[in-house]
Structure 1
């Protein structure tokens, strides 16, 4: 069949929605002091404003992906985008800290309905020879959206557009979301759902609940001083997840539909790719979080100056991601290993620069190794997504995308919390430049080790993997034959 003709016109619409979701994960970090000053948000409420979005977003991604498989990715994307836009409006109109916290929790859940449909649609609509290029743009958007949350967020607050103060960072989503929904209603194909079935409510509650029990203490534990409830919640998440997986396995044996397709993990590329994703994202986003603390606390930069210092890293990530698709066409998944090797060396270079600089460390000295960290991750991340999803069939694309995106978000949250704890643990009562430099060196060491683990595992992704499901997939036709199959479309 002929590939969907509007696929490249549709892609910017999908990526605009992804940018919104990624932007909102990080922009509140910059707006924290402004929220405390203008809305009188207390410490506990501020933690929920920052972290609440993240853990409702991550805990709902697998369910959101499964709903896309069952009810159609187009329908779920439109619903998620409009709901996310409405939640952003509620955030911008909040009159109290409690209202803002509630709106942020809803915003995370609606993002979980929207984002899995993006990867699922790319996997379903783009033919084999074009999919790596589309997934590369997905990776570009993740990196740019993360950095833009700090750079553009600082700019929006600095210029106080229309006197809106902190509200502008949420209200900016409204025109973008409405435009994305309008364009998607015209450009997105109606992909026939994989099958009509129930949603497996026990699996939904068990999976989302176990993830939430792990994410909530990870998000709030450090700033709360790790009280007893955080350890109890973390401990309970493990048996809750185990029981949920046993339930899903029993449904599979009986031929019943389930929210999590365990046969996904029979694909070697997919399962090992999740391990690489966990190590890579926890190291990278933990590093960027600690770097922001270091630049503001140790180097004395304002939030806007710190955000602008991040800009070269974001540009390097974007440029590397764009080039990665062409290089990967020649050398394949080995590019991921090359990118991660560059990142490992760059983390080491940053440690060396800080050790040599001591109390004289400043932004110009760290910009170049920062750029190389962004460049290395920009080479690796887009190709990683394509490699992990390379053998997943269209009917399971939503679920697989939800699992992959959940792993990414969970790793990011764990990295921010874990490496943040390393940073503050090493800092202790020392708040001078030397103390911050020493803390940053410790975080860089952990990031280096996590990235090295990812690099050591990644070579396995270049090997042939076992297919997902009971039957082997059809051979991929050679590029240019016109034999690539297209997804089943309905009017």
Structure 2
């Protein structure tokens, strides 16, 4: 068996934490898991025709990945704290590549659902290690750039799922385009796993913590009991089992929290470290991140439906509409780090305001023009949204993790990424249900425009909530003076 504690090999040393190669390897994980979450939405019609997948199976192809991903990340983060972030990252990356291969060669809808479950679980092993390595090993000077890159990779992966996914579906090389969207991961994962084994920093030694299987199962079960009915309930007509699942989620969650609390008081090793929530910066950053992901997940989903079904664009054409948003997201993510050094947490509030302006303008244009709104005007709105998102997302992550100790980096990253993934899935389900309810039977282009107007206003309310949490974060961090290289006392830019 490969010993990943010494995977750098004789004569080789892991690259310096904070270096470009280490950061690039880490961010590749965040990019591909986000890419694979969003790209399947674009591929759904191809899966339906080629694999003869019904609506229920299509929901499971998308939702199964989200269930396994969200349900496993807290455990994945805890395993990284126990066995080393490098080891878990390499295992997760290799498993993601293998499961992507299985997705690409699948012959039936059932096989694809099973492969997607494995793919989501693999993502849950590697993604928490990204923030954990940044938190535990990067220097204070390198962290802002790394967190900006993390936010950029997350956003670009989401948008690339729309843009590249649409392009790959147009290709017919040796296999159908929908298979390419999975197979393209295989070489990327293989290279990333080898580089990670050689260059990620070694684990911190001297840890004396154990596993918590009861807590791990409880957390996963509570999440699935909520996500499963939210994802499948609408298409299935909200059957009795969906309400039973939602009702059962609360006692399972409460029981799990009581178990974790008992372990904490008894000097045990809970998978969910409740002491993290004693930090006001962690709580505020996490809550703001939840509101942000509720908006972002639902916005990407409903806008894709508007562009393709309402405005009649092809998958590639719809994807290209998102491209300028992705470019500006990347640029403002990198610029936001410098602005935060100068203006502190005020950048969070300004970024939220820019995003809100883009959503409001889109709602106004759709209300006034309906399906006759020009695509260039939609792109202008998306440019505002992308610019604001890039200023907000990396800083929110930094705000939550700024006071986390290195030995708790994996647990904190697992909690943060789990809540964000859960919020994204819940946003798609809840706002998506509202969107479809407004469409009605046999919807016209005007119906899609009206439904998107209402969805954009819901998303606007969520962004206003993010803005309010950013104001609280600013109060916690204290006023940052212009020109300060590092904002002190838990500023979101650190």
TM over 0.5: yes
2:5 matched residue in structure 1: none
Say which of 71, 76, 84 aligns to 2:88.
Answer: 76
Q: CA deviation at 1:194?
A: 6.3
Once structures 1 and 2 are overlaid, which stretch shifts more, 120-129 or 442-451? 120-129
Residue 37 of structure 1 is matched in structure 2 by 49
**Shift in Å at residue 294 of structure 1?**
0.7
Residue 479 (structure 1) shift? 6.5
Whether the 8 Å contact between 1:269 and 1:460 is mirrored in structure 2 is no
- State the secondary structure of the residue aligned to 1:162: coil
Distance 1:194 1:219 in 2: 42
1:243 paired to 2:255: yes
Task: Tell me if the contact between 1:333 and 1:384 (Cα under 8 Å) persists in the aligned partners.
Answer: no
Q: What's the counterpart of residue 254 of structure 1?
A: 266
**What is the 5 A alignment of 1:253-272?**
253-272=265-284
Match of 1:60 in 2: 72
Residues 393-412 of structure 1 aligned to structure 2 (within 5 Å): 393-412=405-424
Partner SS, residue 203 of structure 2: coil
Relative to structure 1, the CA distance from residue 234 to residue 465 in structure 2 (aligned partners, 3 Å threshold; closer, same or farther) is farther
Distance 1:364 1:48 in 2: 34
CA-CA distance at 1:358 after TM superposition: 2.6
State the partner residue of 2:426. Answer: 414
Q: Name the SS of the counterpart of 2:234 in structure 1.
A: helix
Partner residue of 2:157? Answer: 145
The question of 1:94 aligning with 2:102 is answered no
Report whether the alignment pairs 1:457 with 2:447.
Answer: no
Instruction: Write the mapping of 1:166-315 to structure 2, written as runs, cut at 5 A.
Output: 166-193=178-205, 195-315=207-327
Residue 50 of structure 1 is matched in structure 2 by 62
Match of residue 444 from structure 2:
432
- 8 A contact 1:25–1:54 mirrored in 2: yes
Q: Deviations over 1:256-291 (max 9, x none)?
A: 111111010000011111111111111122111111
Cα distance in 2, alignment partners of residues 326 and 359 from structure 1? 39
Pairing 1:321-470 to 2, within 5 Å after superposition: 321-429=333-441, 431-464=443-476
Stretches of structure 1 that go unaligned for 5 or more consecutive residues are: 467-477, 481-491
Task: State the TM-score, normalizing by the size of structure 1.
Answer: 0.92
Aligned to 1:487: none
Number of equivalences: 467
Q: Indicate how the Cα distance of structure 1 residues 313 and 5 shifts in structure 2: closer, same or farther if over 3 A, else same.
A: closer
**Quick check: 82-91 or 349-358, which moved more?**
349-358
1:161: Cα distance to partner?
3.0
1:339-393 CA-to-partner distances (Å, cap 9, x unmatched) read 1111112111111111221342231221101110111111100111111100001
1:169-226, CA deviations, whole angstroms, 9 ceiling, x for partnerless residues?
Answer: 1111110000001111111011225623321111111111111111111221222222
CA distance in 1, matches of 2:342, 2:329: 20
Q: CA RMSD in A?
A: 1.7
